[in-house]
Structure 1
Amino acid sequence: MGKTLDDFYKKQSVIYKYVLYFISIALIVFFFPRGGKFKYDFQKGKPWQYENLYAPFDFSIKKTDEDISAERKLLESNKADYYTFDQQVYQEVLNKYEVNFKSAFSSDALSTSERNKLYSAGKAVLDSIYKDGLFKEQIGSDEVFLIRNNTARTIPQNSIKYVSNSNTFIASYIDNFRLGANKAELVRVLNSVIKANVTYNKSLSDKALQEELSKVSFTRGNILEGKLVIAKGEVVESDNYNILNSLKQEYESELWKGSNYYFILFGYTVLVALVLVMLFLFLKKYRPEIFANNNKVTFIFVNILLMVFVTTLVVKNNENYVYVVPLCILPLILKNFFDARLGLFVHVLTILILGFVVPNSFEYIFLQIIAGIVTILSVSELYKRANLFISVGQITFIYIVGYFAFHIIHEGNLDNIEWVTFGIFLLNGMITLFAQPLIYLYEKIFGLVSDVSLLELSDTNSKLLKELSNKAPGTFHHSLQVANLAEAAANEIGANAMLVRVGALYHDIGKMNRPAYFTENQITNANPHNELPPKESAKIIIDHVIEGIELARKYNLPDRVIDFLRTHHGTSLVYYFYKKQQEIDEDVDEANFRYPGPIPFSKETAILMMADSVEAASKSLKSPTYGMIDEFVEKIVKGQMQANQYLNANITFKEIEAVKKVLKQKLTNIYHLRVEYPE
C-alpha cells in the first residue's frame, strides 16, 4: 500500500496531465454542435473537384434565407387590410341629421312636400356616402376588406370614401337633386353630421398576414435519388450551389441520427485527441520547462477551452456572427506570458479544432491563421497602451481585406456584399482590446507574470526598492548598474530584457537586513568582518540570498523574479573568506563557503549572474584601461563557465560572447575611458 502511494506521489504530475487531457477532450466534444460533417468541400465559383455526384437519397431544394426573406417582404407589402363597418355610428349620423334638419328647416316658408323632398334628398346622399362606409384616414393597401354584418367583401380602391373628402362627395351627390335655394343650407346640415364609421381591424389583419406567411414554402422542388447533382469539373454556380447546400444540410442532419451518432462522436473524439496530443508533444520537446509546470499547462488548456466554448456557442445560436469571437486574444495572451512560437502554435491548433464546426471552414481557417500571424508579428511591448491599439487595428484590417477578397472570389462582383460583416470585424477588434484586463485576471488566478506587471515592478519608487535605497544605498546603486548592464545584454541576444531588469533591481534585497557587512555600503574604513571568523562572515554573505527570498515572498514578488534571487550566485564559492579560513585551518569544509544555488536555468538568469559579478568586480579596478576591462570580464565569465554555472541555462557560446562584448562596452562608458593620443 505504501509503495503504491509513493508511486502515486512521484507520478502525480503525469497523472494530472492525463486527467487534464481527457477532461479537455470530453468538454470540447461536448461543446460541439450535434451534427455530422458533409464529406465534400465546395465553394461558389470554384469547379467541382470530385467525381460526378448523384443524389444518395430524395431531398428537397431549400430556399436561401435571402429568398425566403424576399417572399415574406413581398407578402407584407401586398397584405390585405381588414376594416370594420360600424352600423351604430351610421345610425347616430342619421339621428343627428334628423335633429339638425328640423332645426334648419322649421320655418313655415316651406311646404310639407318641399320639406320632405329636402329631407329625402339629404338621407339619400348619406345612404350613398355610407354604402361602403366612410374611412377616417388614407389607405395604402391595394386590397381592402370591409366587414359588415359578419361578412367581408372587397372594396375597390377607387370607391373608398374619406372624411377629408366628404365635401366633394356631398356636392356631387346633391347636384343630382333640383333643390333650388335650399341646396346650400342642406349641404351645411349634411357637413355638420358627417362622421367616419369604418375602423382598422388590426387583429384580423395580422392574423390574415400570419396565415399567408405560414404558407411560405422553405423549399423549391425536389431532387430524386440517383439524379445527377453536379458533374466533375463543373463550376459551382448559384443554382447548383443551392442544391449542394440543401444536400449538405440534409446529409448532416440525417447522419447524426440512429447508430451514426456514436460513430461521429468517436470520430470527433479521435480528431480532438490528436490535436491535443500534438500540443503535449510540442511542449515536451520544445518547451520542457512549461511542460513540467502543471499550472502553466492548465493555463494553456483553459484558454483553448474558453475559445472553443465561446465559438461553438455563437455557432449554435447564429453562425453569421462567428467572427465576433476575438480568437486573436489567444496568441496575444500566450505571447505575453510565454513566447511567440508557442502562441502561434496553440492558435493554429485551436483553429483546427474549430474548423470542424464553423461554416465555410476553409475561409475561416485561412482568415484566422493570417490574423494570428499578424498578431504575433505586430504585438510587442504590450505594456505600452498605444501598441495594443495599433495591433488591433492591423488585425481588424487583415480580417476586412481577407473577407473582401473571398467575397470577390465567390461572387465575382460586389453586388451582394454584406457590409454588416465589416461591422462584425470592427466589433471583434473592440473586444480584442479586452486582452489587457484579461491578462491582469490571469495573473491573479494562475500566478503568472506579464510585461505589464514587470513594468510596475521596475518602478524604483516602489515600497521595497525605496526601502532598499534608504537602508542600503550602495546596494541600490549597484542594483541599478547591474540592471542597466543586464538589460543591454538581454537586448543584444534577444532575451526578455524587461524581466532581466526587474530581476537585477531586486536580486540583492536580502542585503537590507545587514547592509554594513557588504562593502558597497561601508562608508568608513571600519569593516565588521574584521571582528568575525571567516566562516561566520561567509554565512552572513551567503544568507543574503535566503533572506532576500523571504523578503520577496513577504512583498508578494512573482516567482519569476524570485528565481533571479535564487540563482544570481549559483553554487559559486565565497572565495575571499574561504581563503582566509584556509590560512587558519587547512582542513576546510568547502560546502560552508558555497552558495546554496540553484545555478542559472535560463538566458535571463545567466545574464544576471555575469552582469552582477562583472559590475561588483569592476569596483576593485584602479585606473582601468581597455585592456584591463577586457581581461577581467573574460576572466570572470571564464571562471563561471569552468565552474559549470551555465550548465542548465539555455544560452549558447555565441550568446555568451555577445553578452561579454556588451558588458565591456558598457563598463568602458561607465569609466569614461578616452583614447590616449601620442604626445
Structure 2
Amino acid sequence: MTANKNKKRKLQTPGTRHRSVRVGLFLLLGILLYVSMLDNVQPEQLDVTLSEPAPEDIRSPITVEHEALTAEREQEALDELDPSYVHRNDYVLMQTEKINTIFELATEFQEAQNADTAPLDDHVEQLQATLEEEMDQSLPEETLEILLNENEEQLMIGRDAARNAVHEVMNEEIAVDDVPAAREEAEERISMSMGNTQLQNASAAIASRMVTANYIYDDENTAERREEALDEVEPVLIREGEILAQEGEIIDAEIYEQLSLTGLLDDEFSSFPYLGLLLFVGMIVTMVAFYAGQTSSPLRYSNQALFLYVLVFFIMLATMKVMSVLNLFDMEGILWLTPIALGTMLLAQLISYRVALYTAVLLALVGSVIFNAEATGNFHATFMIYALFSGLAGVFFLGKTPQVAKILQSGAFIALMNGLTVTSFYFLSNAPITLERYGVEIGFAVGSGFLAAVLTLGLMPFFETGFNILSKTKLIELSNANQPLLRKILLEAPGTYHHSIMVANLSEAACEAIGTNGLLARVGAYYHDLGKTKRPQYFIENQMKIDNPHDRRSPDVSKQIIIDHPYDGARMLEEHHFPKQIVDFAKQHHGTSLLKYFYHKAKEKDMEPDEADYRYPGPKAQFKESAVLGIADSVEAAVRSMEAPTGEKIEKLVNDIIRDRLVDGQFDECDLTMKELSIIANTMCETLQGTFHSRIEYPENRDVKEKKANDG
C-alpha cells in the first residue's frame, strides 16, 4: 500500500514545469534580445571638426528644437509688432469737469473776497492751494487774479468758451507728441470766440492746461498681441532624418551647432538608451510570459516547448543580425531577403499556430530595431511592416496542414506577399521608380519567401529529432499502420487494436468539435493501451474463445495487472523514444479512477479493501486531448458491451460516464469547461450512433436464423 502511494506521488510530479527553469528561460530570452539589439541603440558619435568636410551624409537622429533660432524668430515677430493705442473718449468729460470746478471755485472765492477785507493776493494764494489740493492742478497767478476780478456772468462765458474749446479739440485722437499742437488749437478757438482780452487769456490758459493726450498706449492689449504673435511663431525644429550635412560639405559654425544640439558631438556617456532598451526587452519578455501562462499551447505546461521557443527566437535573432551586417555593405534592398517567415513557420509546425501568430508581431518589433541602420530613429518602421506581413503570410497559408507540399506552397505565397509589400512601399513614397533598383529589391523580397520555406524544411527534422518533438508531420508518421509498436498491438492484442481505432475515432471527432488538436488525440489513442500487450489475455477485448484468467486470480492480483497497463505502456513508449505527449496519453487516460469491478469483488469476499489501492496512481489528465481520450476509452468499452445499443441508451451512457468522471475529479487538472463537456458528449453520441446504427434484417437472413434455430 505504501509503495503504491509513493508510486502515485512520483507519477504526479510535474517535472516539465519547474518554476526556476522557466524563469531561467525567460531570462535567457531577455539576454538574447538585449545583446542582439545593444549595438543598434548605442548613441552615434561623429568625429568632425569645424571647417573640415563631412565624412558622410549626416542626418539628425532625433527631432529637437533649435532654441536660438526660435528665439530669433520670436524677436523678429515682436519687432514687427506695432504697439497698441486706444482713444479714451472719457478723458474729454474728465477735463471739462475740471474746467467747471475751476470756475466754480473762482465764484466761491469771489463771494468770500466780498465778505472779507483781506488783500487780493491772499485770496489768489488760497485759490491756488485749493486747486492743488483738490485737483492736483496749478494755474498762473495772473489767470487766477483775472478769475477773481471778473463778475459771475463773464466767468460763465469764459467757462463755456474753455469747455467748448477743450471738447472740440479732444474729440479727436491726441497722441503725446500732438499735445502742444492741440493746446495751440484750443487757444486759437477761444481767441476766435471771445472779445474780452483778459478773460480770453485766462480761459485760453485754463483750456491749454486741460488739453491732454487721449490716444494712449494700451499695455494690456499690447501684451495680448505679443502673446498671440509669439504663439504664431513656429519653433525651429531639427527633424529626425533631416540632412544636417552632405558628404564633403564644409562643417561651418551653424552646422556644428546643429550637430551639437542633436547629440552627435556628445562625448559624455548617457545611460538612457540602454535603460530604454532594457524596458523594451522587458516588455517583450513580459508579454511572452503572460501569453505562455494563459494560452493552451505547450508553452504553458512544458519547459521543453519553452526552450524550443527561445531557440527559434535565437535563430531568428542571429539571422536578422547577419542580414543587418550585409545591409551595411550598400547592397540595395538586401534587408528584404531576411527570411522572417522562417521563425513563424517553424513555430506553427513545432509548437502552435496561435503562438506563431503572436510571435510574428514580436519578431517585427525586434527586427525594426535590428535594421535601424537605415532609419533615422531607433525603429525602422518600414521593415517592421514588411516583417509583419511576411511572418503572418507564412502562418496563415500554412494553416494546420503538415504536408511538405504545403510548406513549399507557403513559400510561394510569402514571396508574393513580400513582393506586393515592397511594391506598395514604392508607390506610397511617390518617388520615381528605377526599374533596375526596383527589380533587385523585388528579387530579394521574393527570394525571402522561398528561402524561408527551404530553411523550414531543412530545420524541421533536426528539431523533431533533437527535441523529440511531436509536430504535425511527426503525428502523421506515428499514425502509419506500419509503425512497429502499432503492429505489435495488432498482432499481439488484436482486440485492443480494434478498441484503440474506435477510441481514436471518438477522440478525434470530439477534439475537433471543441477546437483542440484532433490529430494528436487520434495518435495518442492508437498507443494509449500499448501496455496491454504485456498480458493481453487479461483484458476482455482480447478474450476470444478463452476463459477469463481473472476468474482464477484474487481481486488484489487482478487489479494490479489492470493498474499496471498504462505505466507498462508508458515505459515501452519511452524506450522507443516516443514524444512525451504520446507517453502522457498512456499515463493519464485512466487518471486516478477506481477499478470498481475488482473493488466490489474484493468487498464481496470480505477482504476489507482500501479504495486507494484500487485506484490508478494517475496523474489525472493534464491537457484537454488526454481528458477526451479518457472519456472515449470508457465510452467505447461500455458501448461495446451493450447488447442492443440504441440512440437513447448510448446518450444516457455517455452522459453518465462523463458525469461520473467529473464528480470523481478526473478533470480537475485540465482546462475542460462544462460547455466543452457538453459538446464532447454530443459529438461522441453522434459518432457512436453512426457506428452502432440499427441494420435492416432482410427476409433471407431471417430464414437462415430460423433454420439454424430449428437445427439447434
Please tell me the TM-score bracket, short chain as reference.
0.5 to 0.7
Aligned equivalent of 1:318, options 319, 327, 330: 327
Post-superposition CA distance 1:163-208 (Å, at most 9, x none): xxxxxxxxxxxxxxxxxxxxxxxxxxxxxxxxxxxxxxxxxxxxxx
Q: Is 1:357–2:386 an aligned residue pair?
A: no
TM-score by length of 2: 0.63
Post-superposition CA distance 1:377-417 (Å, at most 9, x none): 22124421221122222222111111111101113554465
Report the counterpart of residue 399 of structure 1 in structure 2. 418
Q: Is 1:385–2:404 an aligned residue pair?
A: yes
Alpha-carbon separation, structure 1, partners of 2:540 and 2:609: 25
Alpha-carbon separation, structure 2, partners of 1:500 and 1:615: 15
Alpha-carbon separation, structure 2, partners of 1:56 and 1:532: 86
Cα offset, 1:606, TM superposition: 1.2
TM-score by length of 1: 0.66
Provide closer, same or farther for how the CA distance between residues 617 and 605 of structure 1 changes in structure 2, counting only shifts above 3 A.
Answer: same
Post-superposition CA distance 1:500-545 (Å, at most 9, x none): 1110000000000100000111111411111001111111111101
Alpha-carbon separation, structure 1, partners of 2:381 and 2:18: 45
Alpha-carbon separation, structure 2, partners of 1:395 and 1:437: 17
Cα offset, 1:350, TM superposition: 2.4
Give the alignment of 1:423-442 within 5 angstroms. Answer: 423-433=443-453, 434-442=455-463
Report the counterpart of residue 655 of structure 1 in structure 2. 676
CA contact (8 A) 1:32 1:312 kept: no
Q: Is 1:53–2:72 an aligned residue pair?
A: no
Alpha-carbon separation, structure 2, partners of 1:632 and 1:586: 30
Q: What secondary structure is seen at the aligned counterpart in 2 of 1:556? A: coil
Report the counterpart of residue 558 of structure 2 in structure 1. 537
CA contact (8 A) 1:29 1:265 kept: no
CA contact (8 A) 2:529 2:565 kept: yes
Q: Is 1:621–2:630 an aligned residue pair?
A: no
Give the alignment of 1:424-503 within 5 angstroms. Answer: 424-433=444-453, 434-503=455-524
Q: What secondary structure is seen at the aligned counterpart in 1 of 2:304? A: helix
CA contact (8 A) 2:590 2:618 kept: yes
Provide closer, same or farther for how the CA distance between residues 473 and 435 of structure 1 changes in structure 2, counting only shifts above 3 A.
Answer: same
Report the counterpart of residue 374 of structure 1 in structure 2. 393
Alpha-carbon separation, structure 2, partners of 1:288 and 1:333: 15
Aligned equivalent of 2:274, options 262, 265, 269: 265
Worse-superposed segment, 23-32 or 546-555: 23-32
When Rg is computed on C-alpha atoms for both structures, the one with the higher figure is: 2
Provide closer, same or farther for how the CA distance between residues 675 and 372 of structure 1 changes in structure 2, counting only shifts above 3 A.
Answer: farther
Report the counterpart of residue 623 of structure 2 in structure 1. 602
Alpha-carbon separation, structure 2, partners of 1:35 and 1:20: 25
Which structure dedicates a bigger proportion of its chain to helix? 2
Provide closer, same or farther for how the CA distance between residues 277 and 55 of structure 1 changes in structure 2, counting only shifts above 3 A.
Answer: closer
Q: What secondary structure is seen at the aligned counterpart in 1 of 2:394? A: helix
Alpha-carbon separation, structure 2, partners of 1:667 and 1:466: 26
Alpha-carbon separation, structure 2, partners of 1:325 and 1:612: 48
Post-superposition CA distance 1:452-482 (Å, at most 9, x none): 1111101111111111111101101111111
Cα offset, 1:583, TM superposition: 0.3
Give the alignment of 1:68-147 within 5 angstroms. Answer: none
Provide closer, same or farther for how the CA distance between residues 663 and 335 of structure 1 changes in structure 2, counting only shifts above 3 A.
Answer: same
Q: What secondary structure is seen at the aligned counterpart in 1 of 2:386? A: helix
Aligned equivalent of 1:38, options 45, 49, 61: 61
Worse-superposed segment, 275-284 or 448-457: 275-284
Report the counterpart of residue 525 of structure 2 in structure 1. 504
Cα offset, 1:565, TM superposition: 0.4
Report the counterpart of residue 225 of structure 1 in structure 2. 254
Cα offset, 1:55, TM superposition: 8.8
CA contact (8 A) 2:500 2:529 kept: yes
Q: Is 1:576–2:597 an aligned residue pair?
A: yes
CA contact (8 A) 1:482 1:504 kept: yes
Post-superposition CA distance 1:109-160 (Å, at most 9, x none): xxxxxxxxxxxxxxxxxxxxxxxxxxxxxxxxxxxxxxxxxxxxxxxxxxxx
Alpha-carbon separation, structure 2, partners of 1:18 and 1:488: 36
Post-superposition CA distance 1:233-289 (Å, at most 9, x none): xxxxxxxxxxxxxx89x968x36x633465433433332233222222322344596
Provide closer, same or farther for how the CA distance between residues 258 and 267 of structure 1 changes in structure 2, counting only shifts above 3 A.
Answer: farther
Provide closer, same or farther for how the CA distance between residues 531 and 313 of structure 1 changes in structure 2, counting only shifts above 3 A.
Answer: same
Cα offset, 1:439, TM superposition: 2.0
Report the counterpart of residue 208 of structure 1 in structure 2. none
Alpha-carbon separation, structure 2, partners of 1:627 and 1:59: 80
CA contact (8 A) 1:495 1:604 kept: yes
Q: Give the counterpart letter for 1:542 in structure 2.
A: I
Aligned equivalent of 2:439, options 412, 419, 427: 419
CA contact (8 A) 1:54 1:228 kept: no
Provide closer, same or farther for how the CA distance between residues 675 and 430 of structure 1 changes in structure 2, counting only shifts above 3 A.
Answer: same
Identity %, equivalent residues: 27
Q: Is 1:527–2:548 an aligned residue pair?
A: yes
Q: Give the counterpart letter for 2:669 in structure 1.
A: N
Alpha-carbon separation, structure 2, partners of 1:674 and 1:326: 57
The aligned length equals: 486
Q: What secondary structure is seen at the aligned counterpart in 2 of 1:355? A: helix
CA contact (8 A) 1:54 1:226 kept: no
Post-superposition CA distance 1:563-598 (Å, at most 9, x none): 100111111111111111110126211112111111
Q: Give the counterpart letter for 2:449 in structure 1.
A: G
Aligned equivalent of 1:560, options 581, 585, 594: 581
Q: Give the counterpart letter for 2:522 in structure 1.
A: R
Q: What secondary structure is seen at the aligned counterpart in 1 of 2:369? A: coil
Provide closer, same or farther for how the CA distance between residues 457 and 298 of structure 1 changes in structure 2, counting only shifts above 3 A.
Answer: same
Report the counterpart of residue 28 of structure 1 in structure 2. 36
Worse-superposed segment, 593-602 or 266-275: 266-275
Q: What secondary structure is seen at the aligned counterpart in 1 of 2:370? A: coil
CA contact (8 A) 1:337 1:450 kept: yes
Q: List gaps (5 residues or longer) in structure 1.
A: 1-8, 42-49, 63-217, 230-246
Alpha-carbon separation, structure 2, partners of 1:643 and 1:553: 29
Report the counterpart of residue 409 of structure 1 in structure 2. 428
CA contact (8 A) 1:58 1:224 kept: no
Q: Give the counterpart letter for 1:645 in structure 2.
A: Q
CA contact (8 A) 2:341 2:449 kept: no
Alpha-carbon separation, structure 2, partners of 1:654 and 1:56: 54
Report the counterpart of residue 348 of structure 1 in structure 2. 361
Q: Give the counterpart letter for 1:39 in structure 2.
A: I
Provide closer, same or farther for how the CA distance between residues 54 and 637 of structure 1 changes in structure 2, counting only shifts above 3 A.
Answer: closer
Alpha-carbon separation, structure 1, partners of 2:351 and 2:242: 54
